[in-house]
Amino acid sequence: MARTPVADALTAQAPVAHIRICGWVRTRRDAKGFSFLEINDGSCLANIQCIVDEALPDYAVIKDVNTGAAVDVRGELVESPGKGQKWEVRAAALTLLGGADAETYPLQKKRHSDEFLRTIAHLRARTNKFGAAFRIRSEAAYAIHEFFRERGFFHVHTPILTGSDCEGAGEMFRVTTLPASGASSTPVPPSGNRFEADFFGKECNLTVSGQLEAEALAMGLGKVYTFGPTFRAENSNTARHAAEFWMIEPEFAFADLNDDMELAEAMTRTVVTRVLERCAADIELFDRFVDNGLIERLRTIADQPFARVSYREAIELLKASGRKFDYPVSFGLDLQTEHERYLAEEHFGKPVIVYNYPKSIKAFYMRLNDDNETVAAMDVLVPRIGELIGGSQREERLDVLEARIREMDQNPDDYWWYLDLRRFGSVPHAGFGLGFERLLMLLTGIANIRDVVPFPRTPGNLEF
């Protein structure tokens, strides 16, 4: 007999004479003549109540049916006389699949600290909070795929292993099959190539972005997006940084900065709208217990157009705010999280897109504006998070791009294939990067990135 997921049982339209529920016991309560089991199977936040009559032949196992135990219950789905639930199961048979010793099972019924739960990340998906977080993670990922597909974008896979260290080599992880240094160190070979004997014959790093490769694919497929892991070897222990995180990076041809802003806003609002609708119970949990006001904030994002200001205007707004910031505010300096949050949370009270940043603080591939001072970049800033998305129109003019590469003291030859995209059939195009974990922090109100990733990677933390 096939099992019925709890999510389906709880939304049944009529009683069911024979039903099979499998799941983990959240609580057991013994009363006169009966035991009540609250069973969760991960399909939704809610448990289903199962009533086990002591007259059942199987009732003897009930003493081992503790919190955390796995059971298989067969019986009848009937209307529940109890409050807060429409349906319950009257058990006809109860099987204990796997016990959970009350002395040693770490997830007894009480609230545990996030810090403690990180030490048992292999079990925390069994809690309400993390079950909800990971269901939202799944639905948000799907909504992103849906959104881009509806708009004619193709999902592409850009490489994780990369030979280019263009964007800040110091922060990259190196990948190797050579022996660990300090063990059996090998001398530098006569060729001078330290990586001659390595798997790829040259230095290999973990990607920090799939953008450049995605641009190449957009120059053939028109509209593409990546959804893959990226890596930063930054030795910083903050609530916002992880060494391994997932990024979504659309790139599309025949597009300018306005198209880019429109796409970023539409994507954010569509994903928020769909997650609000499809994960209502899970989102409500976070609104009640983690971040009061979450739903209202998400509704604002879904319903209201984002504000848009140029970087120049943003600087003026910050100066005129009368606020004392920790970091200075001046044209030519990057916005810090405190500035970004002030703009989104207090000045606009909703997401704001800041565009046309000074070229001195942005990457070489962003398109130079006619003022020769700013580039066609844009960041989407949201309440509680600050920067959610960073993007730009890309420089499509070969000579300007080469000059910018030289300005950064880099060698255009290292970018031969990227420059080829401007040599042959170059077109205006744009793209952005969205940190998936940042989006999840926005969607759940969870304040620490370690709690939106199933198994987070930070300096010194590689367990599981």
Between residue 19 and residue 48, which ones bind a second copy under the rule CB under 8 A? 22-25, 41-43
CB of 113 to a second copy, least distance (A): 18
The binder of a second copy chosen from 201, 293, 332, 349 (CB under 8 A): 201
- Min separation Cβ 368 and a second copy, Å: 17
Part of the chain binding a second copy (CB under 8 A), chosen from 66-74, 311-319, 329-337, 401-409:
66-74
Q: Which of residues 399-418 bind a second copy (CB under 8 A)?
A: 417-418
Separation of alpha carbons 77 and 22, rounded Å: 14
**457 interacts with a second copy by CB under 8 A:** yes
Angle between helices 416-423 and 211-221 (to 10 degrees): 30
Q: Exposed (0-12), middle (13-18) or buried (19+): which is 259, by Cβ within 10 Å? A: middle
Phi, psi of 34 (to 5 degrees): -145, 160
Task: Kindly list the strands in the beta sheet with 244-253, ordered across the sheet, starting from the edge strand earlier in the chain.
Answer: 154-155, 223-231, 244-253, 429-435, 386-394, 374-382, 352-358, 307-310
User: Which residues within the stretch 309-368 sit at the binding site for a second copy (CB under 8 A)?
Assistant: none
Helix axes 257-278, 294-303, angle to 10 degrees: 140
The residues in 226-255 that bind a second copy, with binding defined as CB under 8 A, are 228-229, 231, 233, 235, 243-244, 246, 253-254
Between strands 429-435 and 244-253, the pairing is antiparallel
User: How near is the Cβ of 69 to a second copy at its closest, in Å?
Assistant: 6
By CB under 8 A, what part of segment 116-135 binds a second copy?
120-127, 130-131, 134-135
Report if residue 191 touches a second copy, rule: CB under 8 A.
no
Residue type, 461: N
Binding piece for a second copy, criterion CB under 8 A, among 53-61, 215-223, 305-313, 325-333: 215-223
- Residue 12 is a binding residue for a second copy (CB under 8 A): no
- CA-to-CA distance for 161 and 299, rounded, in angstroms? 39
The helix or strand, by DSSP H or E, that contains position 269, with its residue range, turns out to be helix 257-278
Shortest spacing between CB 256 and a second copy, in angstroms: 12
Token pair, residue 170, equals: 């110091």
Of 157-176, binders to a second copy (CB under 8 A) are: 157-163, 173-176
Smaller CB separation from a second copy, 59 or 173: 173
List beta partners, residue 309: 354
**Which one of 187, 305, 322, 328 is in contact with a second copy (CB under 8 A)?**
187
User: Judged by CB under 8 A, which of 86, 111, 202, 406 binds a second copy?
Assistant: 202
Tokens coding 247: 């990024």
What part of residues 253-272 is at the interface with a second copy (CB under 8 A)? Answer: 253-254
Integer Cα distance of 412 and 395 in angstroms: 14
